[in-house]
Structure 1
Amino acid sequence: MAPLSYAILFLISLIFIYLARIFFSKSRAQNRHLPPGPLALPIIGHMHIFGSSPHHTLYNLARRYGPIISLRLGSVPHIVVSSPEAAREFLRTHELAFASRPQSIAIRYLGYGGHGFAFAPYGPYWKFMRKLCMSAVLSGRSLGNFLPIKQEEIQGFLQLLSRASAKGKAVNVGEELKLMVGDVISRMSMRRRCSGTESKADEIRTLVDDVSKLLMEFNVADYIGFCRNMDFLGLGTRLKVTHQRFDEIMEEIVREHEEKKEKGRDDYVKDLMDILLEISEDEGADMKLTREHIKAFIRDIFTAGTATTALGMEWTLAELINNPRVLKKAREEIDSVVGKHRLVQESDILNLPYMQAIVKETLRLHPTDPIIIRESIQDCKINGYDIPAKSGVFINIWAVGRDPNHWENPLEFHPERFIDENGRTQIDLRGQHYHFLPFGSGRRGCPGTTLALQLIETTIAAMVQCFDLKIDGNGKEGGVVDMTEAPGLTLYRAQPLISLPVARLDPLPLVE
C-alpha cells in the first residue's frame, strides 16, 4: 500500500477516535452541570485562546463568564477560579479534593520519576515530606541556624552595590539579586555557592535556570494523548540531557557529604542535604528516603525558591523607585527603629511594620507565581457546578489580588492598606485571607514562605537604609521604572531593573 494511503487511513482513524470520544464525553456530560466557558475547538480545545500571559487571558475570560469557568486543554478538562470567594471553596471548603498537582512530562523527567516533593501527587510520600519540611528541613530552628549564611550573602550584595556606587557604575539589580538568593539557597542546601569561582558553580547555576525554564515550557503532549510519543521541538531530548547533567552533579555532592560524615567531621552547621541523609538512615521513619528523593528535593528547593524570591525583591524595588513617598516613609521608619550606626537585621523586621506592608503590597500586585495549579482527585460539586475528577485547576491569584470587591483602588500601590489603626500590619499572607494568596494556601501552600520573606524583607530594608537607586544608570532624578510584565507563567519583568546605586550609608562599617 502506498505511503499516502497509510497517511489517509491514519488520519481517518484519528478523526474516528476523536468523534467517538466526543460522543461518549457528551453522553457522560449530559448529567453534569459544568461551569460556563467559551466554545472549544476540535482536538485542541481552548489552547488557541491562551496568550503569552495566561493570567491576563484567564482574568479577561472571568470578566465575561464569571468567577468559575470551564476550559479544555486538548482532552484535559480545566477549571479556572478568579475570585476570593471561589478560591475559598477550592482551597479550604473542598481542600482535600484539590490537594494534588498534575504530573507533566517535564515534572516526571526532572522530578526523578515522581520522587520530587513540590509537584508530588497528594498521598503518603507527599505527607511525609511536608511533615519533614515543617519539623526539620525548613523549620524555624533550621532557618535560624542558617542566619549567618543569609547575613553574609546580603552583606556581600550590599558591598557589590557600594563598589558600583563608588565607580558610578550601573548594576543589573535583578540579576545580582538572583545570584545572591541562589548562593543563599545553595549554601543552605549543600554548603557551596552557585556563583563565583567555586567548583562547578557556573554549571549549577546554569542547570537551575534550565530546569526552571523546562518546567514552565508548554508541551502539547501533556494534553493531547496521541502526541505523547512525539518529541515536539526536541523537548524530550532537552529534558533527558538536563536531567542527566543535574543528576551527575547532585550525585557528586551527595558522595562528598557521605565522605565527610564517615570522617566524623562536626565542625560545621549541617546543611539540608546533611539533614536529609540522616533522615534517610532512620530505620524508624514512616517512609524510607532514597537518594533520588534527596536529589529531587534539593532540585525543588532551587527551582521553586531562587527566581521567585529574587523577583519579589526586584518588583519591590521597582515600586519603591516609582513611589518616592513610600520610599521616604520606609526610610524614616528604619532610621527611627534601627538608626544609622548599624545595618538593619532580620530580627528588626518585626519592628518595621511599614516595610512588611510594602512587601505585602508588592506581592498583591505582582505575585511571582500568578497562577496556582492544582488537580482534582475526586468528583466534587462547588457552587452548584460539577467538577470532574482529574480536572486541572487554575486559581488566578493575580486576579484575586486585584478584585475591586475586596481592594479599594486595587491598581494603586498603597502599602497603608495593610496597616491597621494601631500601626500594626494586618492581613496574613500565608493563605488565611482568600483575597491575598501570594504563597498559596492550605496543605499545598509554599513550605518556603518563611525563608522567602526573611530574605525579601531584610534585603529590601538594607537597601532602603543604605542606597538610593537611580534608573537609566545616570543618576537621573524622577525617572519612572517600566512595570511591564514579561510573557510566561512566572511573573518576570519585561525590562531588567538596571540602576545606578547612590550610597546613602556605607554598609561595611555598619556590620557589627
Structure 2
Amino acid sequence: MSFDLLEKVCSRWLWLWETSNKQDQLARVALTVSLLVSSLLWLLWIWNKLRKGKVHLPPGPRGLPIFGYLPFVGSELHHSFTQLAHSYGPIYKLWLGKKLCIVVSSPALVKEVTRDLDSTFANRAPSGASLATTYGGRDIAWAPYGPRWRILRKIFVSEMLSNKNLDDCYALRRDEVRKAIKNVYKKIGTSIEIGQLVFTTEINVVMNLLWGSTLDGEKIDGVGVEFRKVVSGIFDLLGKPNVSDFYPFLARFDLQGVEREVKRFIASIEKILDSVMDAHQMKKVAGKLDGAKNNETKDFLQFLLELKDQEDNAATLSMTEIKALVIDIVVGGTETTVASSEFVMAEVMKHPEKKKPLFAIPTPRLSNLYLYGE
C-alpha cells in the first residue's frame, strides 16, 4: 500500500509539472521540495520500521522521553538494578539518556557473557573520563578487541604477571609492610590517616615493580600526599556521572569539565613518568657507552621501553601506549586497594561516615622494636 501511494504521488507530481504554467517558477520549486520531503520521510519511516523489526531487545522500564530511565536510577545503582531484576527478570534493557544499556544479573548469564561469549562482548563503551585517562583508549582496559589488544595483553600477562614478578611482588609487599609498621611505630601517640598509610605502602610496591624506586623519608609526606591526591582525583572522575556519556552529541562541549580535570591530573602524573623515563634512557645510553652488560633484573618500564625501540617488531609500543599502560597499573593498583581498605576499616570501627578520612592513634603492644620491622 505504501508503494502504491508513492506511485500515485509521483504520477500526480509529473502531471502537475507538465500542465503547470512555465512562468510559475515558485510553484514548481515548492512542489519539488514537498515531494523530496515526503519521499525522505517515507524512506525514514521504512528504514526505522525495518531496523526495529530486526532488533530483539529484552523487556525493561519505559522511562521518559529524552531522559529515559535516568531520573529514576538514584545514587545506589545496585539497589535500583536489583529491584528492576525482580520486575523484568535476569536480563533487561535500560535507556539512560540516549544510551541503551543491557543489564545482566544472573550468574548463568554473567558466565555466558564473560566466558562463553567473551570475544563477542569484549569491546566496551568507554566513558569520556576513561578515554581522557588512557589517551583515547590506548590501554588494555578500553582498547577495542583485535590484534593490537591481544599484543598488549600478551605483553602485560607475560611480563607483568609472570611467575617471577609475582614472587618479587610478594617479597616487595612483605618488605613494604615491615617499613609501614616501623613508620607507625615512630609515630606512636600521634594521629595517622589510615588511607594515606595504605596508599604509601601500596604505591611503593607498584613503583618498585614499575621502575625500581619508592617513596621514603620526606617524599612520603610530600610527593606521596600529592601523588595520592592526583590518583584519587582520577579515580573519582572515572566514576562520576557525566552528561556527555548519556548524550554523546554533547561530548565535544564537555559541559561538566570532567575531561579537562582528568587531563590536568594526567599532566601531573606525566611529569613523574617523563622524569623516570628520561632517567631510564640515560642509564641505558650510559650502559651502551661503557660497553657493560646489565645483568640486573629489569623493571616493567625498562621492558616496555625496549619494546618501543624495536621498530620492526609487531609488538612495538608507542610512548603513548607505554604511558597508558603505566597509568593503568598506577591508578588501578593503588586506589582500589586504598578504597577497599578504608571501607573495611570503616565497617570494623563503625565509622559514622565512610567517605571521611579514617584516623587512628597507634599504641605499642610490643616492647621490641625489631618486631615492628627494624
TM range (shorter): 0.7 to 0.9
Change (3 A) 1:483 1:281: farther
Q: Which residue of 1 aligns with 2:167?
A: 144
Q: Which residue of 2 aligns with 1:53?
A: 76
What letter corresponds to residue 300 of structure 1 in structure 2? D
Superposed displacement of residue 89, structure 1: 1.7
Distance between the aligned counterparts of 1:25 and 1:48, measured in 2? 27
Between the two proteins, what is the percent identity of the paired residues? 31
Q: Do structure 1's residue 280 and structure 2's residue 308 form an aligned pair?
A: yes
Match of 1:307 among 335, 347, 351: 335
- Contact 1:196–1:202 (CA under 8 A) maintained in structure 2: no
- Contact 1:101–1:121 (CA under 8 A) maintained in structure 2: yes
Distance between the aligned counterparts of 2:217 and 2:110, measured in 1? 43
Q: Which residue of 2 aligns with 1:193?
A: 214
Distance between the aligned counterparts of 1:23 and 1:201, measured in 2? 61
Q: Which residue of 2 aligns with 1:296?
A: 324
Change (3 A) 1:51 1:263: same
Q: Which residue of 2 aligns with 1:176?
A: 197
Q: Do structure 1's residue 154 and structure 2's residue 15 form an aligned pair?
A: no
Distance between the aligned counterparts of 1:216 and 1:192, measured in 2? 30
1:228 is paired with a residue of what secondary structure? helix
Superposed displacement of residue 318, structure 1: 5.2
Deviations 1:18-47 (A, max 9, x none): xx9999666523443312211122222222
Change (3 A) 1:507 1:255: farther
* Structure index of larger Rg: 2
Match of 2:90 among 41, 64, 67: 67
- TM-score, length-normalised on structure 2? 0.76
Distance between the aligned counterparts of 1:21 and 1:221, measured in 2? 27
Q: Which residue of 2 aligns with 1:494?
A: 355
Deviations 1:479-505 (A, max 9, x none): xx2487xxxxxxxx4354434444444
Change (3 A) 1:41 1:246: same
Calculate the aligned-residue CA RMSD, in Å. Answer: 3.0
Q: Which residue of 2 aligns with 1:271?
A: 299
2:218 is paired with a residue of what secondary structure? coil
1:71 is paired with a residue of what secondary structure? strand
2:94 is paired with a residue of what secondary structure? strand
- TM-score, length-normalised on structure 1? 0.57
Superposed displacement of residue 246, structure 1: 3.0
Superposed displacement of residue 111, structure 1: 1.0
- Contact 1:70–1:78 (CA under 8 A) maintained in structure 2: yes
2:340 is paired with a residue of what secondary structure? helix
Distance between the aligned counterparts of 1:22 and 1:50, measured in 2? 32
- Contact 2:92–2:104 (CA under 8 A) maintained in structure 1: yes
Gaps (5+ residues) in structure 2? 1-42
Superposed displacement of residue 281, structure 1: 2.8
- Contact 1:137–1:275 (CA under 8 A) maintained in structure 2: no
Distance between the aligned counterparts of 2:302 and 2:259, measured in 1? 32
Change (3 A) 1:64 1:495: farther
Q: Do structure 1's residue 80 and structure 2's residue 113 form an aligned pair?
A: no
- Contact 2:196–2:225 (CA under 8 A) maintained in structure 1: no
Distance between the aligned counterparts of 1:157 and 1:504, measured in 2? 16
Paired residues in the alignment total: 324
1:89 is paired with a residue of what secondary structure? helix
Distance between the aligned counterparts of 1:282 and 1:258, measured in 2? 15
Change (3 A) 1:483 1:118: farther
What letter corresponds to residue 509 of structure 1 in structure 2? Y
What letter corresponds to residue 83 of structure 2 in structure 1? N
Change (3 A) 1:246 1:509: closer
Change (3 A) 1:300 1:508: farther
Distance between the aligned counterparts of 1:72 and 1:210, measured in 2? 28
Superposed displacement of residue 60, structure 1: 2.4
Distance between the aligned counterparts of 2:283 and 2:345, measured in 1? 41
Distance between the aligned counterparts of 1:175 and 1:296, measured in 2? 24
Deviations 1:131-178 (A, max 9, x none): 1122112212123234443223111221233344x42x4433233212
- By relative contact order (CA 8 Å, sep 6+), the higher-ranking structure is 1
Superposed displacement of residue 191, structure 1: 2.8
Distance between the aligned counterparts of 2:327 and 2:346, measured in 1? 29
1:176 is paired with a residue of what secondary structure? helix
1:380-459 map, 5 Å: none
